[in-house]
Amino acid sequence: MSMIKFIHTADLHLDTPFKGLSLWNDDLASKLKEATFNSFRKIIDLCIQEKADFMIIAGDIFDSENKSLAAQLKFVDELKRLSNKGIPVYFVCGNHDPLSSWLESIQMPGNTFRFDSAEVENYIFQKNDKPLVDIYGISFQNKVVNENLALKYNLTNDQSLISIAILHGTTGAPGSHENYAPFKVEDVTGKGFDYWALGHIHKRQIIRDRYPVIVYPGNPQGRDFGETGAKGCYMVEIAKNKTPEIRFIPTQLIRFEDVRIDLTGEEKIDRLSGRIEEVISSLEDYEENTSCILRISFYGRTPLHSLLNKQEEVEQLVHYFNEGQLNQMNYIWIDSIRVKTRPVIDTEQIKKGADFTAEILKTIEKFEGEPGKIAGLIKDAESDFNSPQTKRELKELSEDDHKEILEKAKWILIDQLIKEQE
């Protein structure tokens, strides 16, 4: 049996209206708007460069059923590039791009196969006039599908062919996603398919790495800080009765990351830029040709603690790091910096003393051991605020928020007391 090579992608979300763009730099907003299209273009390039036999898209090609005409035309233009190379595309429609929302006037190029929504359809991929792969799929007709579509899949042709099922749906915990077309792994493992090409969940995961292989590729371009990490598609090489080789390939143009940087012992403020670059280069599946948008948390005991705990200094630091970045081909843009550092202080030595600082430290540590006391303290503080919004925000704080506030307050207070003693 011949080895077949294909690309499995899903959840392109072309034309995504990035949330909160009005709060971003205008130039950055423009780059973000193009990121999903450019990521898809990289996938098309990859198909051509790797001489893939075909490409699979497991739903949610667009971000909204009210997709723009321009977005649909751009999508078709990219498919034409594959059609001109003789590379077929097989895709289903998901909850964000249900079949009912597609314009009838949009003509798909040759070698492009869109699955219907009435029932599971199948197409046979041939190479050199020889049938090799049996591909099955079903599209969402409308946005909401609560039915277990997986139960509809059954092999109907020669079972000596490699069989692939394309399904947009949910297995396991849906997380932030709607629980559309839910199914269980056991619903699909006994149906005789070699590979289940899934879509809908944006976190890439190989649900099952042996026959039948079950894979979510995740979305190829993150869109906010809820979609951090490397994003891309899977290159799959498969032959009948052999475990497929599955290779993740990053395709994002912009990578969102929450990073923590340990500044323990760091004395020089001008080294921070280098520390940020070090952390970025150590990220999993890091690529030099990818831009990054970061939320940074500084932590650790450092002589820079006093300087970094001044809000106006941190804001200026963010501005300094971002200056000129968007003029570069690959940039690092700092969205925010959170300071969780500690001063270089021996708290155990302080507690041995009998002064006010020692008593303050001992009192705070009592609160740290009793979460109820912290909540009571914050509740008592509500009466000191006149703003209804502030009072409302105080009530919405979680237990972890309480601990973080107390921790930060402790080190600000101790740092100031030590400074006054000096």
Residues 14-58 have pLDDT tens digits of: 977 666 544 567 788 878 888 999 999 999 999 999 999 999 999
Overall size of the chain counted in residues: 422
High-pLDDT (> 70) share of the chain, %: 94
Position with higher pLDDT, 114 vs 364: 114
- Domain locations in the chain? 4-250, 253-344, 346-422
- Over the stretch 83-142, which tens digit does the pLDDT of each residue have? 999 999 999 999 888 888 887 778 888 899 999 998 999 999 998 889 999 999 999 998
Residue 255 has what pLDDT?
94
Residue 152 has what pLDDT?
92
- Over the stretch 188-234, which tens digit does the pLDDT of each residue have? 998 889 999 999 999 999 999 888 999 999 999 998 888 999 999 99
Residue 166 has what pLDDT?
96
Phi then psi for 234, rounded to 5 degrees? -115, 135
Mean pLDDT across 313-322? 91
d(CA 276, CA 261) in angstroms, rounded, equals 7
Mean pLDDT across 389-401? 77
Residue 94 is encoded by which pair of tokens? 């998901």
What contacts 232, CB < 8 A, 6 or more positions away? 204, 217, 218, 220, 248, 249, 250, 251, 252, 285
**7-11, 91-95, 355-359, 392-396 — most confident range:** 7-11
Nearest to 195 by CA among 219, 179, 220, 217: 217
Residue 362 has what pLDDT?
83
CB atoms under 10 Å from CB of 166, counted, come to 26
Residue 58 has what pLDDT?
95
Half-sphere exposure of 182 (CA within 13 A, CB side): 8
Does the pLDDT at position 182 exceed 90?
A: no
Task: Please tell me the class of the 4-250 domain.
Answer: alpha beta
Q: What is the 3-state secondary structure (H, E, C) of 382-411?
A: HHHCCCHHHHHHHHCCCHHHHHHHHHHHHH
**42-56, 161-175, 326-340, 398-412 — most confident range:** 42-56
The β-bridge partners of 246 are 236
- Over the stretch 226-267, which tens digit does the pLDDT of each residue have? 899 999 999 999 988 788 899 999 999 999 999 999 999 888
Lowest mean pLDDT of 73-87, 139-153, 327-341, 348-362, name the range. 348-362
Residue 70 has what pLDDT?
84
Residue 22 has what pLDDT?
47
Lowest mean pLDDT of 83-92, 329-338, 403-412, name the range. 403-412
Residue 138 has what pLDDT?
95
Buried b (16+ CB within 10 A) or exposed e, 235-272: bbbbebeeebebebbbbbbbbbbebebebeebeeeeeb
Contact 353, 339 (CB under 8 A): no
Does the pLDDT at position 147 exceed 80?
A: yes
Residue 18 has what pLDDT?
65
What is the average pLDDT value for the chain, to the nearest integer? Answer: 86
User: Containing H/E element for 298?
Assistant: strand 291-301
